[in-house]
Amino acid sequence: MNHAAPTPLSSRKSQGLKGRITVPGDKSMSHRSLMFGAIARGKTRISGLLEAEDVVNTAKAMAALGAKVEKQPDGTWHVEGVGIGGLASPKGELDFGNSGTGVRLAMGLMASTPLTARCVGDASLSKRPMGRVTTPLSQFGTRFETAEGNRLPLTIHGAGDAKPITYTLPMASAQVKSAVLLAGINTRGTTTVIEPVATRDHTERMLKAFGAKLEVKDVGGARHISVEGGHELTAQDIAIPGDPSSAAFPMVAALITPGSDIVIENIMLNPTRTGLITTLQDMGGDITIENRRLAGGEEVGDLHVKASRLKGVRVPPERAPSMIDEYPILAVAASFAVGTTRMEGLEELRVKESDRLAAVEAGLQLNGVLTQSGKDWLEVNGGGAPGGGKVVTHMDHRIAMSFLVMGLASRIFTRIDDSAFIATSFPGFVELLNRLGAKIGAEGA
């Protein structure tokens, strides 16, 4: 994915945001529905798929590995699976663009099948560590050839006679957990992942829906997730609700922009993904969950959000796994709170699309917000953001969106150096916020 030239944008003080909106389908479920459909028997039908660059790259990768993946005229996606062990070596490289989820889960999917594939990504993804996945997958008998520092480009040689493993996660990572479980699906015997700190559980929920023999139990406060390999998965019909990580941006925009009153419809409310909502409510945010219901095994609902006077809080480290992608936009919310907000347990932010912790702090300071930080914590002194700074996004979609939201309530406009990468997770982001009444446009507008 190469962007010929950066596309700067600016945002400026806006009046009350009003309206009802939907946000793109959940990114985590979109990736998984394509992958699990690819190794299931039969035709999986997916509605609400997030058609962003990250997910489209996953769709292309599954097709290259032998599944039949097609978008239908009615907007649904159909995936004709090849069954357990049916993936084949692709003819060309598998390009995952900017998606760590896509490449890491795909590595697990391929690890226990005798194929060879070369995985590549864009400049940002190529800086991200893959050793956290290659280490456990190597225990199955999988071989890897990686660039220096266990990074992409990477060639995987899947194991033809994989052996089941038991692996304790050294860090809270749903991606690593999922990669190991997917390798276990095609490995005779029982593969177990021990998770000391619970992370998002979409993989477990969706694998069960596809018919996997999977068991989750609590042992001494740790989650033990075991999958019995060698059992075929059965194609499913999947309806994907709105992504709570995407909903975070209009939600915070409404909270910090005086006079706002919006409803964000059909948002997934999986308990492992609602840390930001809990935190913003702790800060005094007027967020009401309406129309709660179950859809596809996941709880969903509508978020009714009104402008609020926020106060600083301490966000405990144990909440980090349930909102790790939302800390950039939480830091923006904290900038407009009364008092200091302290966020802890943030070491994972050092190895996201960028060093998100450093990028967030630099952007805050450029726009006149006082901060302090350490290896795994950030303090934001609230009271409002003067604005005026030009934020370096480091090709990170969440940094870009967060600082565009900041500008809607800052005293003068906020600028970002490049908005192109927003499309990796939230196509139509600028247009959607502007429909609510936001003022986002060309740099200096």
Q: In this structure, is residue 288 part of a structural domain?
A: yes
Backbone phi, then psi, for 297, in 5-degree steps?
80, 0
Report the pLDDT value the prediction gives residue 321, as an integer from 0 to 100: 86
Q: 224 with 257, same domain? A: no
Number of domains in the chain: 2
- Which residues, 6 or more positions from 263, have their beta carbon under 8 angstroms from its beta carbon? 19, 20, 21, 290, 302, 303, 304, 305
Q: In this structure, is residue 184 part of a structural domain?
A: yes
Based on its alpha-carbon atoms, the radius of gyration of the chain, rounded to whole angstroms, reads 21
Q: In this structure, is residue 235 part of a structural domain?
A: no
Q: 420 with 377, same domain? A: yes
Q: Are 375 and 349 in contact (CB under 8 A)?
A: no
Q: 262 with 220, same domain? A: no
Q: Where are the alpha helices (DSSP H) in 80-228?
A: 100-111, 131-138, 174-185, 202-209
Report the pLDDT value the prediction gives residue 443, as an integer from 0 to 100: 66
Q: 14 with 33, same domain? A: no
Q: 15 with 150, same domain? A: no
Report the pLDDT value the prediction gives residue 2, as an integer from 0 to 100: 45
CATH number for 95: 3.65.10.10
Q: How is residue 36 annotated by DSSP?
A: H
Report the pLDDT value the prediction gives residue 355, as an integer from 0 to 100: 87
Name the domain boundary from 197, 228, 259. 228
- Which residues, 6 or more positions from 403, have their beta carbon under 8 angstroms from its beta carbon? 11, 332, 363, 367, 391, 393, 414, 416
Q: 21 with 32, same domain? A: no
Low-confidence ranges of the chain (pLDDT < 70): 1-4, 296, 353-354, 443-445
Q: In this structure, is residue 261 part of a structural domain?
A: yes
Q: In this structure, is residue 116 part of a structural domain?
A: yes
Tokens 């190991």 appear where? 180
- Residues catalogued as catalytic: 325
Report the pLDDT value the prediction gives residue 127, as an integer from 0 to 100: 92
Q: In this structure, is residue 1 part of a structural domain?
A: no
Report the pLDDT value the prediction gives residue 222, as an integer from 0 to 100: 97
Report the pLDDT value the prediction gives residue 350, as an integer from 0 to 100: 85
Q: How far apart are CA 13 and CA 256, in angstroms?
A: 11
Domain residue limits at 128: 27-228
Q: 15 with 128, same domain? A: no
Q: Is 342 helix (H, G, I), strand (E, B) or coil?
A: strand
Q: 279 with 391, same domain? A: yes
Q: 204 with 245, same domain? A: no
Report the pLDDT value the prediction gives residue 275, as an integer from 0 to 100: 96
pTM of the model: 0.87
Q: In this structure, is residue 104 part of a structural domain?
A: yes
Name the domain boundary from 228, 249, 284. 228
Q: 131 with 160, same domain? A: yes
Among 44, 29, 62, residue whose Cα is nearest residue 210: 44
Report the pLDDT value the prediction gives residue 196, as an integer from 0 to 100: 94
Q: 193 with 50, same domain? A: yes
Q: 166 with 302, same domain? A: no
- pLDDT tens digits for 150-209? 999 999 999 999 999 999 999 989 999 999 999 999 999 999 999 999 898 999 999 999
Q: In this structure, is residue 233 part of a structural domain?
A: no
